[in-house]
A and B are shown apart, each in its own frame.
Chain A
Amino acid sequence: MNQLISAAITKGLSFKIDPSSLRWRLTSFLGLVLLVTFLVIGAGVVTFVHNTEVAAWRGRQSEAARNAANTVGAFIRRAADTLSLIGLLGRDELTSKPQLLGQVLEQNPALQEVVYLDAQGRVLASGSQDQPLLANLFTIPQSQWFLTAKQGQNYYGSLQTSADDAPYLMLALPAPDGAVVAARLRMTVLWNVVSDIHFGESGRVYIANREGQIIAHTDPQVVLARTSFADHTYLAQSLQNTTSEWYGEYQDLQGNPVVGVTAPVPGTDWVVVTELPQREAFAASRSAFLVMGGSLLLFGLLLTMVGGRYPNRTIFRPLEELRDGSERIGEGDLSYRIKIAHQDEVGQVAKAFNNMTARLHEQRLALEQQNAQLEAIYQIGLSLTSNLEVKTVLDLILGSTFKFLPQLKDAHIFLYQERLTFAASLWSDGRKDYMAAEPRAGGLTYTVAEQGETIVIPDTRTHPLYAHTTMAWSGALAGIPLKIGTRVVGVMTVAYEHPFTFTETELRLLRLLGDQAAIAIENAYLYEQVQQELTERKQVQEALHQLNEELERRVAERTAEVADVNDNLLAEILERQRVEAALRKSELKYRLLVEQMPAVTYIAKLDETGSSVYVSSQIKNLLGYSAEEWMADPQLWFNLVHPDDRDSIIRESQAALATDRTYRAEYRMFNREGQVVWVQDQTVVLPDEAVQSGLTQGVLFDITARKRAEEQLKTSLHEKEILLKEIHHRVKNNMQVISSLLNLQSNYVSDTQALEIFQESQNRVRSMALIHEKLYRSKNLAEIDLGEYVNDLVIYLFRSYKAYGKGITLKIQADDVHLGIDAAVPCGLIINELISNALKHAFPHNYQGEIRVELQKNQQQISLCVSDDGIGFPTDLDFQNTNSLGLQLVNTLVGQLDGTIELQNGSGTTFKINFAI
């Protein structure tokens, strides 16, 4: 079977599907009919089985659901009845007999806890089989179960699960006097009820409330997971139906296809759902479906295999042969004939087809012959155009004639120009150019030539042209005139050895060949004429050619001469261009040099106006006037020079240029905005051998920035000088104040030694103040004239020590020595000390004498000599190591000056101090 199918598949799939084919359409139609038939039958059977089965499971499941609903209903009713009874017992009975509720619970194991409440929700009596729960609630007045029952309705609560997974259900019923009886219902009892209900092999039952929440299920985990089918579109419909049963086919919560029936639980708002897997419910329809499908498949296969052969043999195979035959004929095989197996419609078609083919074959042969003739003529035509030799063409024509009329004995061609001339012939035995006989006057050939008409003689024996001849043979002849227009140029004759009737086709062919021959002959004549003309023309051309050559030679000679002259000219032009380019380059170089320089370059006339001949473009940057403006106005330079500078420049430049031929000046000009621009102008008179005499060439630099800086420096310096002067002045003043203070204070000193110290200090301060005074009076504030200073100082000291009155004279001899403050102060103090010493100690007891101060400068060496001709320095005293403050000071100060000191003790005392500046 399998092999059969696979073979069938292979075969089936090996067909090429052509949706437009007759076979396909026929097959499709038959297949469709077959399919519809199968489907109708199949559907009918399956539907019948299915309906029967649906009726069966619905009945079965409805019963199961009803039973379950009744069982559950009875369970709930029992519990409710118990609660109603408790309610009827009333408040007094229950509160007076607290053990009563316990007894009730023992009777009814489904009740876990019972409470009896008043209208305010207060617990009046309670009993419990475990830990009391309801009795301890403080939210009872808010509880839905209490409020529902208080309003007179029974309350069947949803499932509750405690923290330890113990499920319970709240039940609350109204009782007389607004009281409420409530209970916790043990769920496990209800679950056992549900799991005890069985139907089918794997049918299951569960209970749900109106919200779709499952409260009892054969699998407790489903309940504990708080499963709800409120979102299950199909099952949720059953919740709408509160009074009657509902059934349907759907996927359950796990997605398995099931059939389900629901039934309301009487006395509650719960529904019982029974579900059976569809696999089980529809087991019979499924097997019916499979069996039907299988058998239809088999039947279909058989039908195909058996029934498919007949149409194949009777219709499709002959049709295919017909098609193959057509294709072969189409390909050109006209000899093919279709085998005719049956005399049915297809056989008749085949027969008609064969007849048609036979006729086609005949026509084809005729056509081929015609084609060959046309081909030959075409070939002759070709050779006519490519071959001008008349004999060759005529032989070709004769050859072709034999090809088409192979039975010919001979064929001749004659030329005709008033008389006939033999041109060519061909014989059946292959001989060529053999003439049968000279044409006779009045014979066939001449008649044809003269009349210009074709003459056909089927049988020489009966034809009038041969009536009077003694020709022994009897045959057939045809004469064809070879004509160009109406002019006869020749005759072609053909002969048969036996009588023969020329067909129209043969005659037409002969005439065609004759026409070709006529053209060939005519061509030959024309060619001859043309050749002759050509020869003449060639001779004329030769003469012309020679004349031409002579002329050309002469022209060439002249041309060569002209070319030489041209070459020389060209060389000259190139040289000139090169020189010009070099000049331009050089000029460009210098112009760039001049115009890139950060200064204005100019050439001006050597007269008073100084008007410019050339000025470089930088003038625009310098003064804001363009070079063109500058050169257009000869007065411009003069006008722009600052009026204060104008006269001096003109005067000085004229003078300088006349003598030194060069001039340099710095002066002010105004730019276009009227601002002052400082320029440095450097001019030189151009040598006379330059382009033009009487010209100067110069450069203008912008030195405004430099000038500004200079002025600032000057100002700054001046300010500093004033400052310095002021400082020296103040220092001097301060020292003078100190000196005055010392003087004032000395008025309060009575001790002579102390007084002396005061005076010495005063002198020292004074000597320093004098330096500062000299400084601020000096020219450069940095140095003092030492000679002048010493003079002033010594005069002061003499006055201070009242030396003049004592007959001591002073002699000062000083070179022009200038010292800075650093050297002047120690130097002044040294002189102060030494002279003070001399005045104090050298001339005791009205001793008279002279004090000399000598100051000599020898290059950088200063030599200071303070001497007296007094009593002389005490010999036991080392002047470099004494207690005298004055001498200590002298030594220290000499050290400060990096100098040396020596003492010459002869007549009087001489101190000689040398130091460098």
Chain B
Amino acid sequence: MTLRLTLLINLVLFWLVACQAVSPTPTPTPPPLADELIFYNWEEDLPQSVLEAFTRESGVKVNYLVYESQEEAIDNMRAGQVYDVVVMESRFVGLLAREKLLAEINYQHVPNFKNISANFRDLAYDPGNKYSVPYNWGFTALIVRSDLVEAPVTRWADLWDPRYAGRVGLWRGQPREAIALTLKSLGYSASSENPAELAAALDKLLALKPHLRFLEDYDPANAGPALASGEIVIAMGYASDVLMGRELNPAITYVLPQEGALLWGDNFVIPANSPHPYTAELFLNFLQRPEINAQVANENLYATPNEAAYPLINPDLRNNPLVFPSNEDLKKAEIILPLSPEGQKLYDQIWQRFMDAAPPEKR
């Protein structure tokens, strides 16, 4: 009897030793893919064909929700709306990260990040690209109906030319850029937080209000039709607006203002409340494949930060200085920087005052 007990104890001891010797080492299995990703972006921005390609390859459906301004998107994220991937302008990334609304990106799942140009890595708005993967970039500049203006347009200040009253276009969805270009027209920094400079900018904006038409009222995605019809002759805008607008009317031209154009960048971020960060990361990695990235650029006509995609981009687009400007032009441009919280408050007030001002007169 004693024998049996002792035997059992010894067997247990043996087993423990054996376990110690050959403990299994499981390699981590990837989490399961989600059925659907919610993608939140500007309207008609990321081509549907690309989303379908992703669905074909991964089986993950992409539900494309649209916003009309970055502020709207941020409000919804703050309100706890669930998205998996959101396109966010650079200057908001830091703000959202500080509010803990963004998830850290696991770059083990996004190896194609290596295709991103050094120009867009480790920038101040998101050190180490902890929360964002660059999507596209470009200038905010002037779009002009060259045949309808009475003198060559060269400066931001030409927006205030009384000859164009009632035919000046501005995006209501881009308050920061509107204020920045006003600051630039006054000769100040695009990201100035100097109250005196901002007060001057507000006065100038209010002076512009009666001359204005909002571009969203024509087409929420593209200023082209408004200029093509001649209802707008001068507007703030983007290279894509010009490229699309030219198909309607070749007299639409792009002007980099002498005061310096505004440089912007859009990024993909994954909200902290996304239920499928792994699938979202696979999606981002997919979008950074050279051929996919080139397909995006060829369709939405924006410059991409993905260097590996450059050889695959339509040469017309690649060599178009409106989209991929020369280094000289680029160096003159000013990047819109993130604001301090106090600065943001001032900007918000300015925009509120501007929006509350008497609406443009109807012609």
B residues in contact with A406, CB < 8 Å = none
Q: Is A24 an interface residue (CB 8 A)?
A: yes
Q: Does A88 belong to the interface (CB within 8 Å)?
A: no
A599: min CB distance to chain B, Å:
78
Contact A27 B2 (CB under 8 A): yes
A134 to B4, CA, bound (A): 76
Q: A163-B115, A286-B20 are contacts. A31–B123 as well, Cβ < 8 Å?
A: no
In the complex, which residue of chain B has the Cβ closest to the Cβ of A138? B330
A255 nearest CB neighbor, chain B only = B25
Chain B residues lying within 8 Å of A160, measured Cβ to Cβ, are 118, 121-122
**Chain B residues, Cβ within 8 Å of A12:** 1, 3-4, 7
Residues of chain A from 11 to 46 with CB closer than 8 A to chain B in the complex: 11-13, 15, 23-24, 27-28, 30-31, 34-35, 38, 42
Say yes or no for B335: interface residue by CB 8 A criterion: yes
B99 to chain A minimum Cβ distance, whole angstroms, is 20
Is B119 within 8 A of A141, CB to CB?
no
Contact B124 A147 (CB under 8 A): yes
Q: CA A670 – CA B3 in complex, angstroms?
A: 119
- Across the interface, which residues of B come within 8 angstroms of A228, CB to CB? 106-108
Residue numbers in B under 8 Å from A11 (CB-CB): 3
**Are B122 and A157 in contact, CB atoms less than 8 angstroms apart?**
yes
Say if the beta carbon of B81 comes within 8 Å of chain A.
Answer: no
Q: A430 contacts the other chain (Cβ, under 8 Å)? A: no
List residues 101-122 of chain B with CB under 8 A from any CB of chain A: 106-108, 111, 113-115, 118-122
Instruction: Confirm or deny: A178 has a beta carbon within 8 angstroms of a beta carbon on chain B.
Output: no
Q: Are B123 and A139 touching (Cβ within 8 A)?
A: yes
- Which of B5, B111, B337 makes the CB contact (< 8 A) with A27? B5
Residues of A close to B111: CB separation below 8 A: 225-226
Q: How far is the CA of A24 from the CA of B4 in the complex (A)?
A: 11
CB of A85 within 8 Å of the partner chain? no
Cross-chain contact A24 with B1 (CB below 8 angstroms)? yes
**One of B8-16, B71-79, B220-228 contacting the partner:** B8-16
On whether the beta carbons of B2 and A8 are closer than 8 Å, the reply is no
The secondary-structure label for the interface of chain B is helix
A165 within 8 A of B: yes
For residue A308, which residue of chain B has the nearest CB? B2
- B100 cross-chain contacts in A, Cβ below 8 A: none
Per the CB 8 Å criterion, the residue count for chain B at the interface is 45
Q: Is A5 an interface residue (CB 8 A)?
A: yes
Cross-chain contact of B26 among A35, A138, A163, A255 (Cβ < 8 A): A255
List residues of chain A with CB within 8 A of the CB of B4. 8-9, 12-13, 15
Known contacts A12-B7, A13-B4, A144 near B128 by CB under 8 Å: yes
Name which of B3, B27, B113, B337 has the most chain A CB atoms within 10 A of its CB: B3
Contacts of A256 in B (CB 8 A): 25
Select A297's contact among B13, B27, B123, beta carbons within 8 Å: B13
B127: contacting residue among A144, A286, A296, CB under 8 A: A144
Least distance between B30 CB and chain A CB atoms (Å): 14
Which of B4, B14, B21 counts the most chain A CB atoms within 10 A?
Answer: B4
A215 CB → nearest B CB, Å: 12
A142 contacts B125, C-beta separation under 8 Å: yes
B2 touches A31 (CB 8 A): yes
B14: nearest chain-A partner, CB-CB: A293
B327 at the interface (CB under 8 A from A): yes
Q: Which residues of B have CB within 8 Å of A141?
A: 335
Complex contact A304–B26 (CB within 8 A): no
- Chain A contacts of B331 at CB under 8 A? 138
Flag if B9 contacts A300 (CB, 8 Å): yes
B340 adjacent to chain A (CB < 8 Å):
no
Structural contact, A162 and B124, CB atoms closer than 8 A? no
CA distance A42 to B307 in the complex (A): 64
Question: Once the chains bind, are A161 and B114 in contact (CB under 8 Å)?
Answer: yes
Q: Which of A28, A157, A290, A308 contacts B3 (CB 8 A)?
A: A308
Q: Counting CB contacts under 8 A, is A797 at the interface?
A: no
List of B residues within 8 angstroms of A158 by Cβ: 122, 128
> Which residue in B3, B108, B130 is a CB contact (below 8 Å) of A225?
B108
Contact A139 B120 (CB under 8 A): yes
User: Are B7 and A8 touching (Cβ within 8 A)?
Assistant: yes
Cβ of A455 under 8 Å from chain B:
no
A136 beta carbon closer than 8 Å to chain B: yes
Interface residues of B in 41-78 (CB under 8 A from A): none
Complex interface residues of chain A between 263 and 298 (CB less than 8 A to chain B): 279, 286, 289-290, 293, 296-297
Among residues of B, the one whose C-beta sits closest to the C-beta of A256 is B25
**9 sampled A-B residue pairs with Cβ under 8 A:** A9-B7, A11-B3, A12-B4, A31-B2, A139-B119, A226-B108, A251-B25, A296-B10, A305-B3
Known: A228-B107, A297-B6. 10 other contacts (CB 8 A): A34-B6, A137-B119, A142-B337, A157-B122, A163-B307, A170-B122, A254-B27, A255-B25, A290-B17, A304-B7
